A and B are shown apart, each in its own frame.
Chain A
Amino acid sequence: MSAAGFDPGAGVRSPLRPLARILRAREAGENPDLIEAEQRRRRHEATRDKARSRAQFRLMLLAFTFVAGFIAIGGRMAIIAASIAEEPVAEATGNPIINQRADITDRNGRILATNFDTHALYAQPRQMVNPERAATELARIFPELDQGRLLRDFTGGRTFLWIRRQISPEQMQAVHDIGDPGLLFGPREMRLYPNGPVAAHILGGYGYGREGVNSAEVIGTAGVERFFDTRLRDPAEGGEPLALSIDLTVQATMEEVLDGGMVVMNARGAAGILMDVQTGEIVAMASLPDFDPNNRPAPLTTGDAADSPLFNRAMQGVYELGSVFKIFAAAQALDLGLVNPETMIETRGPLTWGRFRITDSHAMPNQMTVADVIAESSNVGAARIAQMIGPVRQRAFLTALGLTEAVPLQMVEAPTGAPIVQSNWSDLTTLTVGFGHGISVSPLHLAAAYASLVNGGTRVVPTLLRQDRPLAGERVVSAETSAQVRMMLRRVVTDGTASFANIGAYAIGGKTGTAEKPGRGGYQANRNLATFASVFPAEAPRYVLIVTLDEPVETSGPQPRRTAGWTAVPVATEVIRRVAPLLGLRPTGTD
């Protein structure tokens, strides 16, 4: 700033025409306007300089702000990039430790399957101090391990190997005592079935999925464990137990009685199903021989799968169940109005159809009422009733009862229990199906169909989950037909083939069925499948019980007896005597 002799910042505004200088200029004969012009120029320059310095200051301020902003953002970025990512924890999480897999309980909340914390043992041979000693000691703790093989694994090039999937606390302590840093433990959850083989077929089994050092997935491998695998592992369920329709006490009792009955009747196997006729809840379902789901055996690789204890006879075993089917023909004929329970049916045998002869096991009168055909179990009579119905209607009726397709039960094996029906449902098929041949269904199908017939006539779909209210199934037969069916089933017990079930305590109704098992070269008279399909209490049924014995022989008499009336009926009756009090059914009389 070249303000010689003039200070614009002095605060005193110098006038445009300073009188002293004007006077002096006038005296010197100069133009005073020049002075004014100079003064104007100076003033102007001063203003310009001020504006420039202000602009400079503003620019500096702006630059500083930007630099500061960039430094702030850049610094924050650097901090974020250099620190460990962590979600801000600002709220409480819910239940902190939910089991990896939900429990399974029975209908009363008793535990059928739960989890148990245990440890897996693994080795990192690189970190081992003394592989020889570790191998020797491990082989001593776990006798099933091979010392030589362990040593090879430990001294070879392996860096990691699993030794045992699960070890007990005592074994863990023993391994700790070896003191080798190369032997390590990983936490594991294992599935525990505290009741052992009770309800084994229903529960199925478990295995490990993806496996890591710190945890392993527990996955279901069979039964409801597999069917509900996603539900049991879903964190959104919050570990809520899965309540089945099974009653543990009833299930255990039924298995006990069936086991005893199997021994007494020299049977190869036994199956039992107890089902609520209104809701379709399966209260108990047993198949013997059974297994321990804690230690599920490997499936058979050769031979008949039905010989394996894993085979669920109650659901997977499809058999020609024989005479228990006669009630379906009778019920349909009643419902269609073709007959009433007192209608006389021609029962003179044999009934020939082409080269096929239908006969009865023992002599029957030439004519019997429909109720007597059921009570005495006449093949010829049942075939004649089926003949009246005809193939189309018969097939439609059995389909309505659910007997022609697999039961949609909540078990992964359910589709394997699909019935076997004739592809060509001929007139002859109609006759044989009338008395339970030419169609193979499982005892579970039978339970559902009987429940549908006796509960007032509405379709029942079996379920393994606890239900709160009865199912509103579609109508299969009328309520009157249902009442007549109940009456006829009761007649079988009071006057017919199931006389062993005629106990005073409970009014049982039911139908026997003795089917010869097919083998090489036709049916085998000495290898039977004895079934008793029963309902109780007979007048207003609440439960249906199916008991099936595989190849039973009752040897107390001079002749071996193989019919259901001598084998399955006494066993089923004992099941009812034991189970009905547990279900809270009051006896109607005394024995």
Chain B
Amino acid sequence: MRGLAYLLAGASFLGLGFWAYQENYATQASLRELRDLNRQIGAAHARINMLEAEWAYLNRPDRLRDLVNLNYQRLMLVPLMPESFAAMDAIPDRPEDYVPLLDATQVSSDMAPRDAEDPL
């Protein structure tokens, strides 16, 4: 009886030791992976930051204003002014010859006569 107890204790000691050993190495591996992920996240952050800065720089008001002025011929964009607002009843009724857009690639000018001025 006593021998069996000793045997069990010894076996559980060995088992626990083996388990702790495994856990230790699993932890080390996780930490290595974490460090690696952190490095990737850091790099992604730096990249996002750079892209955001670039986006903000490309969208700076001066540049947009200059672009609008340069492309006035094509885009005809003007600043938002009080005249830009309209009442609901100013919206025209649906025209009689309304063609519903069924295909996503269809545009409303598809049915227009070819001699109409090219909007682009």
A residues engaging B (CB < 8 A)? 89-90, 92-93, 95-99, 110-111, 114-117, 192, 194-196, 198, 248-249, 252-253, 256, 503, 505-506, 577-578, 580-582, 586-587, 590-591
Contacts and interface: CB of A to CB of B under 8 A. Distances in A.
Given A194-B59, A248-B61, A506-B82, 7 more contacts: A96-B38, A96-B41, A96-B45, A115-B49, A115-B53, A194-B53, A252-B65
Nearest to B31: A89
B63 to A, nearest CB: 9
A111 B46 contact: no
Contacts of B81: 577-578, 581
A198 B82 contact: no
Nearest to A253: B79
Contact of B57 (A90, A194, A586): A194
A252 B68 CA distance: 15
Given A194-B53, A196-B60, A196-B62, A581 B85 contact: yes
Contacts of A117: 46, 50
B91 interface: no
Nearest to A105: B56
A97 B45 contact: yes
B15 interface: no
B82 A590 contact: yes
By secondary structure, the B interface counts as helix
9 contacts: A89-B31, A93-B38, A96-B41, A97-B43, A111-B53, A198-B62, A580-B82, A581-B80, A581-B82
A464 to B, nearest CB: 19
Interface of B: 27, 31, 34, 38-39, 41-43, 45-46, 49-50, 52-53, 56-57, 59-62, 65, 79-85
A538 to B, nearest CB: 15
A254 B20 CA distance: 68
B57 A192 contact: yes
A505 B43 CA distance: 51
B56 A586 contact: no
A12 to B, nearest CB: 31
A582 B61 contact: no
B107 to A, nearest CB: 29
Given A196-B62, A581-B85, A97 B42 contact: yes
Contacts of B80: 578, 581-582
A96 B52 CA distance: 19
By secondary structure, the A interface counts as loop
A117 B66 CA distance: 28
A505 B38 CA distance: 55
Contacts of A256: 61, 65
Contacts of B39: 96
A248 B50 CA distance: 20
Contacts of A92: 34, 38
A195 B60 contact: yes
A107 to B, nearest CB: 15
Contacts of A110: 56, 59
Among the interface residues B27, B49, B82, which one has the most CB atoms of the partner chain A within 10 A? B82
Contacts of A252: 61-62, 65
A371 B56 CA distance: 48
Contacts of B56: 110-111, 114, 194-195
A382 B5 CA distance: 106
A99 B49 contact: yes
Contacts of B60: 194-196, 198
A591 B84 CA distance: 11
B64 to A, nearest CB: 9
Contacts of B49: 99, 114-115
A48 B43 CA distance: 80
Given A99-B49, A116-B53, A249-B61, A587 B38 contact: no
Given A195-B60, A248-B61, A591-B82, A97 B41 contact: yes
Nearest to B42: A97
B54 to A, nearest CB: 8
Among the interface residues B39, B43, B49, which one has the most CB atoms of the partner chain A within 10 A? B49
A45 B57 CA distance: 103
B82 A587 contact: yes
A90 B31 CA distance: 8
A184 B113 CA distance: 67
Contacts of B43: 97
B46 A97 contact: yes
A404 B79 CA distance: 39
B24 to A, nearest CB: 11
B82 A96 contact: no
Among the interface residues A95, A115, A195, which one has the most CB atoms of the partner chain B within 10 A? A195
Contacts of B46: 97, 117
B82 A111 contact: no
A98 B46 CA distance: 9
The 7 A-B pairs with the shortest beta carbon distances in the complex, nearest first, are A505-B82, A97-B42, A252-B61, A194-B56, A96-B38, A587-B82, A111-B56
Among the interface residues A111, A253, A590, which one has the most CB atoms of the partner chain B within 10 A? A111
